[in-house]
Amino acid sequence: MSGQNQVLEIGSSPHVTSGASVDVIMRNVFFALLPVCVFAVFAFGIAAALTLTTATLTCVVTEHVICRLNRKPTTVGDWSVAITGLLYGLTLPPDLPLWMVAVGAIFAVAVGKALFGGLGCNAFNPALVGRAFLQAAFPQAMTHWSLPFAADRFSELPGSILAFPFAEPVYDAVTAATPLARMKFEAIQAENPDLLWGLTSGSVGETCGALILLGGAYLVARNMMNWRIPVSIMLTVSLITWVFMQIDPAVYPRPAFMLFSGGLMLGAVFMATDMVASPITNAGCWVYGMLIGGLVVVIRFWGGMPEGVMYAILLANAVSPHIDFLIQPRVFGTGRGAG
Amino acid sequence: MLGLAHNDSFSHGIHPPEMKDETSHLSIRRFPFAPLLIVPLSQHLGKPAVPVVRAGQEIVRGQVIAEADGFVSVNMHAPASGIVKKIALAPGIGGNMLESVYIEPYPASSQEVQDGEPCDLDTASADDIIGAIQRAGIVGLGGAAFPTHVKLKPPEGKRLDTLIINGVECEPYLTTDHRVMLEQTADIFNGIRYLLKATGAAESLIAIEGNKSDAARKLHDECPSDLPVSIRVCPVKYPQGAEKMVIRSLLKREIPSGGLPADVGAICVNVATTAEIGRLLPRGHGIQERVITIGGPGVKRKGNYRIPVGTTVRFALEEAGAAKDISRVFLGGPMMGPSVSNLDIPITKGTSGITAFTTVQINEATGHQKIYPCIHCARCVEACPLFLNPSQLGILAKNEEYDRMVEDYHLMDCFECGACSYVCPSHIPLVQYFRLSKKMIRKLGAAQ
């Protein structure tokens, strides 16, 4: 050195960083979802593969186009929209017409994410915004379930999948009820192993609780997910369900059924934990999880619909900023700790 | 560890790579005199000292060249024998200009130091010691450069029961305190005697991080039996060395928000400062040199050097051999050290090290990474040792909502340790936002 023209760069400390990066976190969440996706295709065949591909690609293209329309660099590279796409696809019925899948995906990204200001600003989980839109727009198609492990799932495509936009989809003869619907309307509870290993009917990615838990465990191990949220949801649901089961076992299901049926696992592990739309403090996360758990039980037990995870999470998303404001950590040197 | 008491720690915090192995085994070496020394009259917090020498005057190493102006101020001593060239403005770290004494040392200036009036431990009163510390120009050598004697006088009505000697040195790369503990062990105990007498504290604790077990061992073994000192080894965690954190770890007491260590009956003095008190006071000397670590990947002959105050960063880096592609130089460690825009600024009493990074480290560090929006991942909340919410503070800073930052989110408690910026996966320069916000708040407050 000592050269007279030494160029020195100035910068604000710290001059070192941990190396963590948003795109790395997002990529890991995406990878954690892949086992669930592989199982979905195994259980529901080509229909699931097409649903997931359409959902993800439409979401990614929508975000890219919106960025371009705003004359901003594309944000597709941060991988968050790919997660939205995949998660959204996993919540849909396997034989939903693909044009509906695409419409919901556009809504999820355009309204659920871009309108709020993009990554970091979405008040609600965008994937669930898309699904809620479909639920309102196409209630019949959104409650039509096909049987898992159909013999012809890798050779035949369900007729409804390629339905012409805005035409009435034609469903094949074989349909099934989800475990929650059977519970609600016929009072039949599915067996635990069937629920754990995903042998029941349901949305593309919600059936196999074991693989969802595996993905969650991976993210928790890598410090990319706050485990308090799913744990709080599951504990709350189990506890309330257990209490009601003691009161009347004929009407109310057992806790394990509640945990592994419907979208609870997928919702608790991958949806409610959307960092942007959940509280930032650990205490806040416990409260947020309890709120979701409580709402799920209320909707499932006494609501008109068999399933309530989606609405429970969306409602809790709306409350999340208030939880953050109300439950602030005690600052060092204030309150009981001072002195 | 070897029968030494393990200690609790504070909550939260981070674990950046320590990078201390390159210099922690190297003994302190003397540094030659630079052809020109620039001694700023304000090297401490408080009022600048008043010069008592004039241009052209011949001075002797150790002689007082500027006197304290009031209580929150300290004396300055000549770092070398030579001629006062001029008293003029010189650039400081922030680009600000500081009144400084320019000294041209004699080519054969010796290391001899002029003796002053000694402060005898046995006969001196507490006030005598406090006065002697001020005359010796002693300030916090850990980096804050707060005049030490001011801390020793607690506010009316407060009583000090514990003297904490801070040898934690949690900043990566820096090993000066480590070396001082190994090489000036006796000075440290001598300094503790002066400090205990000055403060009236009953006992003294030396805080050390677990990565300096050799120093802890040595202090433990050589501690005089009549001295009420115990060695406490804290887990390695940043920012363990911060005053609030070290007091929390050792005493389980929290300094109240906006308060002082005296509010919880403690006083915290850096270990190198203590060693200087123990070394200088018996001889009546003043601080005219200090130990710094010159390190980082941009330095060839890394090490710990006893360097005259007023040596320029440029001279120090030339002597230690800097790499061709150094691109960022900062004073202190990488977590809190301010980067310099000009190598011709002098090393002062508060400079604990010079760390040089090359383009390689800078390309992978802050400022060159893509900044993403905050995703509320909560890593900053989990890192902040004061339990603040850096994520929310960052958003408010961007929106210039300064009132809310102060009232709802305790911005003024932040001591800018950098843990939040370090962990942020969105690479948001949070600490920089907070510094700017505090500046704006002071400016707005002054305008009102």
Does B376 touch chain A if contact means CB atoms closer than 8 Å? Answer: yes
β-strand B82-91 against B97-105: which pairing, if any? antiparallel
Give a yes or no: residue A229 inside a domain.
Answer: yes
With a cut of 70, say whether residue A338 has pLDDT above it: no
Scanning B222-251 for CB atoms below 8 A from A yields: 244, 248
Distances (CA, A) of B324 to B157, B330, B334, B357, B364: 56, 16, 20, 11, 18
3-state secondary structure of B146: coil
Distance CA A236, CA A63 (A): 36
Scanning A69-128 for CB atoms below 8 A from B yields: 78, 80, 118-121
With a cut of 50, say whether residue B405 has pLDDT above it: yes
- Kindly state the tokens that stand for A183: 């519970």
With a cut of 90, say whether residue A144 has pLDDT above it: no
User: Looking at the 3D structure of chain A, how many domains does it have?
Assistant: 1
- Kindly state the tokens that stand for B436: 């700017």
Give a yes or no: residue A1 inside a domain.
Answer: no
Give a yes or no: residue A50 inside a domain.
Answer: yes
pLDDT of residue A337: 62
pLDDT of residue B166: 96
Nearest to residue B307, comparing CAs of B285, B333, B287? Answer: B287
Distance CA B123, CA B105 (A): 37
Does B35 touch chain A if contact means CB atoms closer than 8 Å? Answer: no
Return the bridge partners of B270, or none: B166
- Confidence class for position A161, pLDDT limits 50, 70, 90: confident
- Residue A307 CB partners (closer than 8 Å, separation 6+): A178, A180, A262, A263, A299, A300
pLDDT of residue A179: 87
Scanning B386-405 for CB atoms below 8 A from A yields: 386-389, 391-392
Flag if A281 and B378 touch (Cβ within 8 Å): yes
Give a yes or no: residue A241 inside a domain.
Answer: yes
Average pLDDT over residues B180-194: 96
Average pLDDT over residues B9-17: 92
Average pLDDT over residues A3-15: 76
With a cut of 80, say whether residue A172 has pLDDT above it: no
Is residue A280 within 8 A of residue B388, CB to CB? The reply is no
pLDDT of residue A186: 80
Question: At residue B50, what are phi and psi to the nearest 5 degrees?
Answer: -100, 125
Average pLDDT over residues A306-321: 94
- Confidence class for position A2, pLDDT limits 50, 70, 90: very low
Average pLDDT over residues B211-224: 94
- Confidence class for position B402, pLDDT limits 50, 70, 90: very high
Flag if B413 and A333 touch (Cβ within 8 Å): yes
Scanning A261-290 for CB atoms below 8 A from B yields: 275-276, 278, 280-282
Average pLDDT over residues B394-419: 94
Does B41 touch chain A if contact means CB atoms closer than 8 Å? Answer: no
How far apart are the CA of B204 and the nearest CA of chain A, in angstroms?
Answer: 19
Flag if B341 and A22 touch (Cβ within 8 Å): no
Tell me A258's DSSP state.
H
* Tens-place pLDDT, residues A100-132: 999 999 999 999 999 999 999 999 999 999 999
Q: Where are the alpha helices (DSSP H) in B335-429?
A: 359-364, 379-383, 390-398, 402-407, 419-423
- Best of A4, A12, A27, A222 to disrupt the B interface (most B CBs within 10 Å) is A12
| B163 vs B96, more confident | B163
With a cut of 80, say whether residue A224 has pLDDT above it: yes
With a cut of 60, say whether residue B3 has pLDDT above it: no
Flag if B387 and A20 touch (Cβ within 8 Å): no
Flag if A8 and B373 touch (Cβ within 8 Å): no
* Tens-place pLDDT, residues B364-383: 765 568 899 999 999 999 99
| B6 vs B32, more confident | B32
pLDDT of residue B370: 87
Flag if B256 and A276 touch (Cβ within 8 Å): no
pLDDT of residue B1: 43
Mean pLDDT of chain B: 92
CATH number of residue A170's parent domain: 1.10.3430
Give a yes or no: residue A3 inside a domain.
Answer: no
Distance CA B28, CA B180 (A): 8
Whole-model pTM: value is 0.92
Instruction: Give the position of tokens 């991958």.
Output: A270
Return the bridge partners of B290, or none: B307
Does B15 touch chain A if contact means CB atoms closer than 8 Å? Answer: no
* CATH number listed for the domain at residues B126-283: 3.40.50.11540
Q: Kindly tell me the sign of the dihedral angle through the C-alpha atoms of A9, A12, A17, A20.
A: negative
Scanning B55-114 for CB atoms below 8 A from A yields: none
Least confident interval from A1-5, A228-232, B40-44, B295-299: A1-5
Write the DSSP string, A225-256.
Answer: S-THHHHHHHHHHHHHHHHHHHH-TTTSPPHH
- Confidence class for position A4, pLDDT limits 50, 70, 90: very low
With a cut of 80, say whether residue A153 has pLDDT above it: yes
Which residue from A minimizes the CA distance to B335?
A14
- Which residues constitute the domain of residue A69? 23-326
Average pLDDT over residues B182-189: 96
Among A16, A328, A339, the residue with its CB nearest the CB of B264 is A339
Mean pLDDT of chain A: 91
- Residue B94 CB partners (closer than 8 Å, separation 6+): B338
Distance CA A333, CA B11 (A): 13
Distance CA B305, CA B293 (A): 6
Would you tell me the crossing angle of helices B185-199 and B271-280 to the nearest 10 degrees? 90
pLDDT of residue A1: 45
Distances (CA, A) of A122 to A269, B147, B373, B426: 19, 50, 11, 16
Which of chain B's residues have a Cβ under 8 Å away from the Cβ of A336? none
Q: Where are the domains of chain B?
A: 126-283, 379-447
With a cut of 90, say whether residue A166 has pLDDT above it: no
Which residue from A minimizes the CA distance to B382?
A281
Flag if B329 and A8 touch (Cβ within 8 Å): yes
Question: At residue B429, what are phi and psi to the nearest 5 degrees?
Answer: -75, 70
* Tens-place pLDDT, residues A30-65: 999 999 999 999 999 999 999 999 999 999 999 999
Is residue B290 within 8 A of residue B307, CB to CB? The reply is yes
Scanning A214-243 for CB atoms below 8 A from B yields: 223-224, 226
Percent of chain B with pLDDT over 70: 98
- Residue A98 CB partners (closer than 8 Å, separation 6+): A50, A51, A54, A161, A162
Distance, CA of B99 to chain centre: 22
Which of chain A's residues have a Cβ under 8 Å away from the Cβ of B386? 331-333
Flag if A13 and B337 touch (Cβ within 8 Å): yes
- Residue A304 CB partners (closer than 8 Å, separation 6+): none
Percent of chain A with pLDDT over 90: 71
3-state secondary structure of A62: helix
- Residue B339 CB partners (closer than 8 Å, separation 6+): A8, A9, A10, A11, A12, A13, A15, B328, B329, B330
Percent of chain B with pLDDT over 90: 83
How far apart are the CA of A287 and the nearest CA of chain B, in angstroms?
Answer: 16
Scanning A35-74 for CB atoms below 8 A from B yields: none
